[in-house]
Amino acid sequence: MIGLCPLASGSKGNAIYIGTPCSKILIDVGISVKDLMHRLSSIDVDIEQLDAVLLTHEHIDHIRGLSALVRKKNIPVFANIETAKAVAALVKAPLKFKIFSTGDPFTIGDIGIHPFTVSHDAMDPVAFALQIDGIKIGICADLGFVSSSVLHMLQYCHYLYIEANHKPSMVHACARPLIYKQRVLSRLGHLSNEEAADVIDAVYHDRLRHIYLAHLSSECNHPDVALHTVRERLQKHNKIVSVSIAPQDCVAQTVLFS
């Protein structure tokens, strides 16, 4: 498939597929290889076609399937040095790391990749801005605060994958421990629906084609709530763009690059 497809998004596992005529990559491998193969197959991609994996950070919901994947296929793993060290301590398999420097662009085949810093409770977490033949894609989740530099990196995207993790009142009302609530709501936690709407409002332009709302909490959010919050904000300012959910248990709506 030549396009973009979130394969899984949420606390149980994250993986995003991006394919071009020359390159096929994954961002994160937080699901089992069995699930990964099944979901790739549903979009007509064979796991053997993958050229690389990019890692955003070392949390288990982003690397759960990495060990099995590299044992099945000798695939390079792109990460910054702090993430690589953290992952190497967790993954009991030989990893062929390709180290990038956060903030410095690099390429994989015909995909230009610019990793940038985000605020999250990991060693050196990143998000990515990707350039593919004049198309810009922003992949930005697992962050508790949106800085001006993050907004700058997400300017002029044609496709945007942005976290809409929770509704704060649902976090406060849930049965989880206080330490969980404090983490989620902190600047090192996750973005709320309203904060996602703020980001979208700030970076919107008339060539933005599609938005994925990502990493929704199963306890402290609901797809209808997240969609309503974002669509209401867009409508309020007469901004028109399609919005969909990147779900946890199945592949998302696919975007084909024309």
Parent domain of 164: 3-256
> If pLDDT is split at 50, 70 and 90, which confidence band does 92 have?
confident
- Contact between 164 and 226 under an 8 Å Cβ cutoff? The reply is yes
The Cα angle at residue 137 between residues 68 and 72, in degrees rounded to 5: 10
**Global confidence as pTM:** 0.97
What is the rounded distance in angstroms from the CA atom of residue 36 to the CA atom of residue 65? 8
- Contact between 226 and 190 under an 8 Å Cβ cutoff? The reply is no
Backbone angles phi, psi at 133, to 5 degrees: 50, 50
pLDDT, tens digit, 9 for 90 and up, residues 210-237: 999 999 999 999 999 999 999 999 999 9
* In the predicted structure, residue 58 carries a pLDDT above the cut 80: yes
What is the rounded distance in angstroms from the CA atom of residue 23 to the CA atom of residue 219? 36
> If pLDDT is split at 50, 70 and 90, which confidence band does 93 have?
confident
Domain with residue 33: its CATH number is 3.60.15.10
Q: Which residue has the tokens 């390079």?
A: 76
> If pLDDT is split at 50, 70 and 90, which confidence band does 66 have?
very high
What percent of the chain shows pLDDT beyond 90?
A: 98
Return the CA Rg of the chain.
Answer: 17
Domain count, the chain: 1
Q: Which residue has the tokens 């974002």?
A: 230
Amino acid at 144: G
Q: Which strand (E) or helix (H) includes residue 178?
A: helix 178-185
Q: Which residue has the tokens 């496709």?
A: 159
Amino acid at 69: L
